[in-house]
Amino acid sequence: MTTFRFLMGLITYRTWRYVINATAWTVIYMVPIIPGLITKEFFDSLTGDASLKMGTWGIIALLLAAALARVVLIIVGFITDVNFRFRMGMMLRRNMLKHVLKQPGARAIPCSPGEAISYFRDDVEQSEEAASWSVDVFGMTCFALVSSYILIGIDAQMTLLVFVPLVIVIAVAQLSTSRLQKYRAASREATSHVTGAISEMFGNVQAIQIAGAEERVIERFRKFNDTRRQTMLKDKLMGEVLDSIFTNSVNLGIGLILLLAGQKLRGGTFTVGDFSLFVYYLTFVTSIITNVGKFITYFKQMGVALDRLKGLLQGAPAGVLILKEGLRLGKGSAMKENAGAAAATSAAAAAVKVEVDKADKAASEPLRILEVEGLTYRFPETGRGIEDIRLALKGGSFTVVTGAIGSGKTTLVRTLLGLLPKDEGTIRWNGKPVYDSGTFFTPANSAYSAQIPRMYSDTLRNNILLGQQEQGDDLQQAIHTAVMEYDLEHLQNGLETMIGPRGVKLSGGQMQRTAAARMLVRDAQLYVFDDVSSALDVETEQKLWERLFQSRGDATCLVVSHRRAALTHADHIIVMKDGRIEAEGTAEELLRTSATFQELWSGDERTADSALPADAEGAVKT
């Protein structure tokens, strides 16, 4: 998508609002033509050359009326511009967020959340700035045409001699905006690094403290800020130099008028009123040229913003950014805002979506068997991942995926659940294909507990429920199954305890069990545990699995673990190595046939023998 097409997409989001806004500001920019003519008559009346016989006070009254009318029009213009501009910005941000939320959860954005903020804030703001200024350019062009026609009618030679050099000076200055564009791209990139570093530091305070890396992290952050300071300084300096050239061109124009008008005034072919009209219009015409230069600068900066936004889309069509859908800003607005929005989606795409929805709905039935054939995913950065995974999970079974670090266990379950986009492969639920794994593998079909639990700065209750309505004793049952009763007794406010940003008030084991409770509070046919017991002691893990079998004995479980407590409960074990399934079977079979499994089994035995018997990890950190 070109920058111009992107601009037109923003303009046509609400065409009628843009037309109203453009009309309002065109009138605002055209209004100064009238005071200019009135000023000419005022000075001509002082020398007796006036053609308008209204007297001095009548002319002053007209000037005041024109000024008041312009003030009123500017207020109206602000209202129309705000309604258009901020709807346009909200549309962009809504489409970006909607796209991000549709992406596989593990690769939703190509950068850190802190860095993504600069895309939603700065790049969208730059885009709406350029679209908003297009309104001004149209109005200013109309003013320039009309005023030039009037001035040429008075003295064509002076008009050309004054304004052509100004246009040349500003055009030459405008050629340097390519350098400004380069500086702007560099400053945006540096700002993204700073915001990303802030997010990482505040999100990993404990890890930084434990590693004793405070000074190194601060030094790295200082380097990011120094780089940003340098790039922002270049960007700002270049912008100010151009603004200075544009602004001082007015003084250059006035000087040219003074040099040329003196001789004509002495000859009687040029009146004082004509001189005042030239000076009056010169300010506006030069301002127009300056603002056109600004618009060109904004337009080029919009191109930089568009390139960055395309990067956020991760290969998706840039047209996603300008999809025309209603914002639903108030009651009754949805119908109005959505008028014509259906045209944004092609009939072919809609038909495909209907077929996919039908297939997924048909597949969503009690799980008898989940089949995976040829499942493949490779990380774009390294080319590593999983390849040709084939497995079958029977309803009610307990399957464990195990393997060494980096063998592809987490990648397997993420790709299966649609959190990573599969490159190849087929997934079938009871023999029927699942087309959209990310949409299908959600409650009540499946529930998932990630390897690294995500906690939010809220109460423990809300972190478990995540917006779900509490029904009966579901919450208490989930807490019991996740072995959290002891923790609740020692938390200051029980379920109402505020756990802090990213759950900093909880230990690693408490966070794992909170994530398990979050999963178990939702009824599902398939439960996927990704190394949920890694921060638990042997006794707590044993209780977790026993209580799970007691409360959800008919549920199908897919567990990523290398711990004996999980392996001994498994109906079927899958051993991963280098992204492929190396072996599978029961624990007894694999102990006889798989060297990798034997090593994992022995390694967990050594870990268990050397582990401390305390349940100290259950204590609340202070």
Pairing of strands 556-560, 398-403: parallel
The count of C-alpha atoms lying within 13 angstroms of the C-alpha of 582, restricted to the half-sphere facing its C-beta, is 19
Residue 527, classed as helix, strand or coil, is strand
pLDDT by residue (tens digit) across 336-351? 444 444 444 344 344 4
Look at 112 and 168; give whichever has higher pLDDT.
112
Q: What was the pLDDT predicted at 351? A: 42
pLDDT at 612 over 50: no
Q: What was the pLDDT predicted at 429? A: 95
Element (DSSP H or E) covering residue 389? strand 385-394
Look at 78 and 111; give whichever has higher pLDDT.
78
Q: What percent of the chain is predicted at pLDDT more than 70?
A: 87
User: Crossing angle, helix 15-30 and helix 124-174, to 10 degrees?
Assistant: 40
CB distance 446 to 529 below 8 Å: no
DSSP 621: P
CA atoms of 27 and 6, how far apart (whole Å): 26
Q: What was the pLDDT predicted at 373? A: 96
Pairing of strands 572-577, 446-449: unpaired
> CATH class for domain 369-606?
alpha beta
The least confident of 196-205, 287-296, 349-358, 399-408 is: 349-358
CA atoms of 419 and 392, how far apart (whole Å): 19
CA atoms of 409 and 577, how far apart (whole Å): 9
User: Crossing angle, helix 33-47 and helix 55-102, to 10 degrees?
Assistant: 160
CB distance 455 to 511 below 8 Å: yes
Q: What was the pLDDT predicted at 49? A: 64
Residue 596 confidence class, pLDDT cut points 50, 70, 90? very high
* Position 568, amino acid: T
Domain map (residue ranges) of the chain: 1-150+289-323, 369-606
pLDDT at 187 over 90: no
pLDDT at 415 over 70: yes
The count of C-alpha atoms lying within 13 angstroms of the C-alpha of 185, restricted to the half-sphere facing its C-beta, is 13
CB distance 128 to 299 below 8 Å: no
CA atoms of 134 and 296, how far apart (whole Å): 10
Q: Write the CA distances from 100 to 103, 111, 310, 385, 449, integer angstroms.
A: 5, 12, 12, 22, 21
pLDDT by residue (tens digit) across 207-244? 888 888 899 999 999 999 999 999 999 888 887 887 77
The least confident of 11-20, 498-507, 519-528 is: 498-507
Residue 165 confidence class, pLDDT cut points 50, 70, 90? low
CB distance 134 to 7 below 8 Å: yes
The least confident of 238-252, 326-340, 447-461 is: 326-340
CB distance 194 to 228 below 8 Å: yes
